[in-house]
Structure 1
């Protein structure tokens, strides 16, 4: 049980790390200095973590990386929408 708590805390911290950039990009509609390639790599990584979590039946990994995948996908979408406006 303690391992799952540790897993959730670690996952929450890494998941929310993208929120400040996501909110700033959404509010300013500026994404000029953000690398889409980095977010594609990040999506690949968290996507694989979700698959790993499913294989291991590890809910902290599945949940936090699933949310991270959605947030980072949102950031990539904002980059695609706003890149031409920069």
Structure 2
């Protein structure tokens, strides 16, 4: 069962990479919602804390990486606003 969770965590985390790279490259955040990314980044941070508390490595690692990617996009949104 853990392998299924690991696959799911990997796929959902990797899905943020193209958006992050595109945002860094183009410096265009006009199509990105500040509210959505603020809420989403906060939620991912909470999932990271939860993964740490329950010592679940797939949840913890996936959400650390997702947090970094989402936080990067959020900071670029604020910078290029």
| TM > 0.5 fold call | yes
What is the CA distance between 1:10 and its match in structure 2?
Answer: 0.8
Partner of 1:9: 7
* Aligned-partner Cα distance in 1 for 2:22–2:70: 14
Q: CA RMSD in A?
A: 1.2
Structure 2: stretches of 5+ with no match in the other structure? none
Pick from 46, 55, 63 the counterpart of residue 57 of structure 1: 55
Deviations 1:31-84 (A, max 9, x none): 11210111111112111111211221111000100110111001111111222x
Moved over 3 A (4+): none
5 Å-filtered alignment, 1:38-77, equals 38-77=36-75
Structure 1: stretches of 5+ with no match in the other structure? none
TM-score of the superposed pair, with normalisation by structure 2? 0.89
What is the CA distance between 1:4 and its match in structure 2?
Answer: 2.1
TM-score of the superposed pair, with normalisation by structure 1? 0.84
- Aligned residues between the structures: 81
